[in-house]
Amino acid sequence: MSADLLSPPPHLPPAAALRLSQEAPRVLGNSSSKSLPYPFSLLYAAESPETWIRYENLLLACLRTGDDRSARLCLERLAERFGDPNQRVKALRGLYQEAVAPDNNALEAILKSYEKEIKDDPANMPIRKRRIALLKSMSKVPDAIAALVELLDVSPTDVEAWSELADLYLTQKLYPQAVFSMEEVLLITPNAWNAHARMGELLYISAISTTNNDGGTTRILSESIKRFCRSIELCENYLRGYYGLNLVESSYWQ
């Protein structure tokens, strides 16, 4: 899989992330060294949105591979360009601090600073999401769920948040809530075959793990089959859908 800094796939395999982060010296070295003298620099627009997307992705890749020094440089460049109060820069700075935090106390301090930020500006979505992610990684799942529900009350059209909420509910074995959240995801992206398959998985898990009367389980399983069918209908070679369909069918006839 080819991955470049401009548009890396959302789930980067470790090797690709390493390759990306190894480009750091090249990217960080060649910019800001050559720029024309003042009157000509006005005529020549050197920067483009792509430059900064590249920096951001490089920052993420460097953090993954432990190259904190390059990550720091990327962050400085971004902060220099967009200013510290920028929401996205704030979130990236928080991400960096979380990555280099030595112990749990430091993480708690970061969490406090996030809460202060949110109190100052409740519309700061990137920081609110960072706070949720931090809560989740500190395994305070109920807190994370509460924060997510609060976020979704303000912004109920956020696909990412809804699917995260579905996952969190699943870890807490709150299946009806998870299914509800997944339905919201589907309402926003009605043709996403992976969302349909995920819905099928949720239904399947909830059906096999609850031991109530037989009728309800059968109904849930049959909806699960339908969901997998829909995901295959939307994307013919979606293997996960086929496998899920096979799994559910075999347990349906037992």
Partner 1 sequence: MAPPVAQTIHRDPALFYWILLPITVVMIFTGILRHYAQTLLQSGPKKQPVRLLRQQRSLMRGVNLRTNANVLSPSSFQTRKAYLVSAFQDGAFLADPENRGKPRGNPMSDPAMMEGMMGGMKANVAMMVPQTLIMGWINAFFSGFVISAFAPARLVKLPFPLTPQFKSMLQSGVGTRDLDVRWVSSMSWYFLTLFGLQPVYTFILGNNNAASQVTQQMAQMNPGAGMMGPDQDPDKLFLSEAENLEVVEHRWILDGVEDRLLARSK
Q: Which residues contribute to the site for partner 1 (CB under 8 A)?
A: 42-43, 45, 48, 121-123, 153-158, 180, 183, 186-188, 190, 196, 223, 225-227, 229-230, 232-233
Question: Judged by CB, which is closer to partner 1: 101, or 229?
Answer: 229
What is the DSSP annotation of 10-69?
SS--HHHHHHHHTTHHHHHHHSSS----HHHHHH-----HHHHHHHHHHHHHHHHHT-HH
CB of 169: closest distance to partner 1 in angstroms?
A: 15
Cα separation, 145 vs 129, whole angstroms: 11
Host H or E run for residue 157: none
- Which amino acid type is present at position 26? R
**Residues 28 and 80: beta-carbon distance below 8 Å:** no
Question: Judged by CB, which is closer to partner 1: 33, or 48?
Answer: 48
Question: Judged by CB, which is closer to partner 1: 21, or 181?
Answer: 181
CB of 161: closest distance to partner 1 in angstroms?
A: 11
Residue 2: partners with Cβ closer than 8 Å, 6 or more residues away: none
CB of 56: closest distance to partner 1 in angstroms?
A: 19
Question: Judged by CB, which is closer to partner 1: 61, or 89?
Answer: 89
CB of 254: closest distance to partner 1 in angstroms?
A: 19
Question: Judged by CB, which is closer to partner 1: 124, or 210?
Answer: 124
CB of 65: closest distance to partner 1 in angstroms?
A: 34
Length reported for the chain: 254
Question: Judged by CB, which is closer to partner 1: 100, or 187?
Answer: 187
DSSP state letter for 3: -
**Residues 189 and 195: beta-carbon distance below 8 Å:** yes
CB of 34: closest distance to partner 1 in angstroms?
A: 18
Strands (E) across the chain are located at none
Sign of CA dihedral 171, 173, 177, 181: positive
